[in-house]
Amino acid sequence: MSKSLLFIPDISGFTKFIQTTEVEHSQHVIAELLEVLIDANTQGFQLAEVEGDALFFYKEKELLSLEMILAQVEMMFTAFHSHLKLLETNRICPCNACKTAPNLQLKIVAHCGELQFITVQDNRKPFGTEVIEVHRLMKNSVDSDNYVLISKALVNEIGLPLDYRSKLFSFNHGKDSYDGKEIEYAYSKIKNENLKINPLEQVKKIHFERSPNLVVQREFPVDAFKLIEYLSNYRYRTQWLDGIDKIEFNETEVTRLGTEHKCVVKGSDLDFITITKKAKPGQLVYGEFTSSPPVVDELYQFYIISPMTDNYCKVDVEAYWIISSPIKKLIMATFGKIAFKKTVDHGMDSLLEFTKKRRD
């Protein structure tokens, strides 16, 4: 029987991350990272299971070459840490989950052997001794949370020299005992500075040399961190903003700079991109950009949240618009601005009532 390849990428620091951070955002961060790792699967692995913070891949009756395995390992580490860099750079949420996500790391364990399979409710999954062993190898004595570990069985099959060295990899010998059986392996710690991090997505950086076209102020009896969550988490949007049929957005993603969402109002689509602007120390800013409204060419709206006490904050809603058509300028100057202010006022009043209900 031909041997199969077992391959498990596992997010390091998951347990501490979940226990000490906001649960909802930590779940989204982990889900995003698992999706990134799945997308980085370039070798046609089969996904047997999503195991909380890990992915259990296998390649049935086929072993990859040393070069292909190391290339796959590098691909996943690069994708993983590139996404963490994106989360860090484009973060707008101040919660601990989003703030500490860059501390997460990755370990990958690879093994091989003859596989058996079990079918449960039409789901065919690897089963047997080798599956047990590859999971045992996740609990090892490697002094790192960012590494690749290759079992001795796979080392022998692919011809990995125990002194293998490259710019990214520097393998060493290791061994641990599991239930009285000693299992040997080769491991290499991964230095993130040696990864070729993918270029970050370009986001809209906003700066105006003029005063906003409209300013609306409100005070809210709620913590500033909670208020920015109510603003930036689109699940809440239809609960406090009237007139919206629905909001379409990526429900597995934490809102950050460059995030897109769509508001459907009376059958018409309004497309928005998350933006920000420079704020004073201590302030929180959430902003949106759209070119959808027909009366303006570009509309920028910012919610600038200033904490006043632990359970009280002030919000300045600033709107800037750009209009090139003289006719549209006239429309905005005569009644468009009044109508827009009325909409913003109503939205802030509704948000105020929503926060009071959430508090009660």
The confidence band for 162, taking pLDDT boundaries of 50, 70 and 90, is confident
Specify whether 245 is located in the same domain as 112.
Answer: no
**Residue 73 confidence (pLDDT) above 70:** yes
**Main-chain phi, psi angles of 172, to 5 degrees:** -135, 165
| Of the candidate ranges 45-54, 64-73, 87-96, 287-296, the one whose mean pLDDT is the lowest | 87-96
Specify whether 233 is located in the same domain as 346.
Answer: yes
Specify whether 189 is located in the same domain as 218.
Answer: no
Specify whether 132 is located in the same domain as 8.
Answer: yes
**87 within domain boundaries:** yes
**Residue 42 confidence (pLDDT) above 80:** yes
The confidence band for 263, taking pLDDT boundaries of 50, 70 and 90, is very high
3-state SS of the chain? CCCEEEEEEEEECHHHHHHHCCHHHHHHHHHHHHHHHHHCCCCCCEEEEECCCEEEEEECCCCCCHHHHHHHHHHHHHHHHHHHHHHHHCECCCCHHHHHHHHCEEEEEEEEECCEEEEECCEEEEECHHHHHHHHCCCCCCCCCCEEEEEHHHHHHHCCCCCCECCCCECEEEEEEECCEEEEEEEEECCHHHCCCCCCCCCCECCCCCCCCEEEEEEECCCHHHHHHHHHCCCCHHHHCCCCCEEECCCCCCCECCCEEEEEECCEEEEEEEEECCCCCCCEEEEEEECCCCCCCEEEEEEEEEEEECCEEEEEEEEEEECCCHHHHHHHHHHHHHHHHHHHHHHHHHHHHHHHHHHC
**51 within domain boundaries:** yes
Specify whether 234 is located in the same domain as 152.
Answer: no
Specify whether 17 is located in the same domain as 165.
Answer: yes
The confidence band for 267, taking pLDDT boundaries of 50, 70 and 90, is confident
Specify whether 297 is located in the same domain as 255.
Answer: yes
**204 within domain boundaries:** no
**143 within domain boundaries:** yes
Specify whether 165 is located in the same domain as 38.
Answer: yes
**Residue 123 confidence (pLDDT) above 90:** no
Specify whether 246 is located in the same domain as 291.
Answer: yes
Proportion of the chain above pLDDT 70, given as a percent: 96
Q: What is the pLDDT of residue 294?
A: 87
C-alpha of 34 from chain center: 9
Mean pLDDT of 350-356: 94
* pLDDT tens digit sequence for 177-225: 988 889 999 999 999 999 998 887 766 678 899 999 999 999 999 999 9
* Average of per-residue pLDDT values in the chain: 91
Q: Which two tokens stand for residue 186?
A: 């080769």
CATH of the domain at 219: 3.30.530.20
**15 within domain boundaries:** yes
**207 within domain boundaries:** no
* pLDDT tens digit sequence for 280-334: 999 999 999 999 988 899 999 999 999 999 899 999 999 999 999 999 999 999 8
Rounded Cα–Cα distance for residues 47 and 50 (Å): 8
The confidence band for 360, taking pLDDT boundaries of 50, 70 and 90, is low
Q: What is the pLDDT of residue 96?
A: 81
**132 within domain boundaries:** yes
Specify whether 281 is located in the same domain as 353.
Answer: yes
Q: What is the pLDDT of residue 212?
A: 96
Structural domain count of the chain = 2
Proportion of the chain above pLDDT 90, given as a percent: 71
**82 within domain boundaries:** yes
Q: What is the pLDDT of residue 265?
A: 86
C-alpha of 307 from chain center: 27
Rounded Cα–Cα distance for residues 34 and 2 (Å): 29
**Residue 1 confidence (pLDDT) above 60:** no
**Residue 26 confidence (pLDDT) above 70:** yes
Q: Which domain holds residue 276?
A: 214-359
Rounded Cα–Cα distance for residues 194 and 137 (Å): 25
Mean pLDDT of 334-350: 93
CATH of the domain at 131: 3.30.70.1230
Q: What is the pLDDT of residue 181?
A: 87
**Residue 22 confidence (pLDDT) above 90:** no
Q: What is the pLDDT of residue 15?
A: 66
Specify whether 316 is located in the same domain as 179.
Answer: no
Specify whether 246 is located in the same domain as 343.
Answer: yes
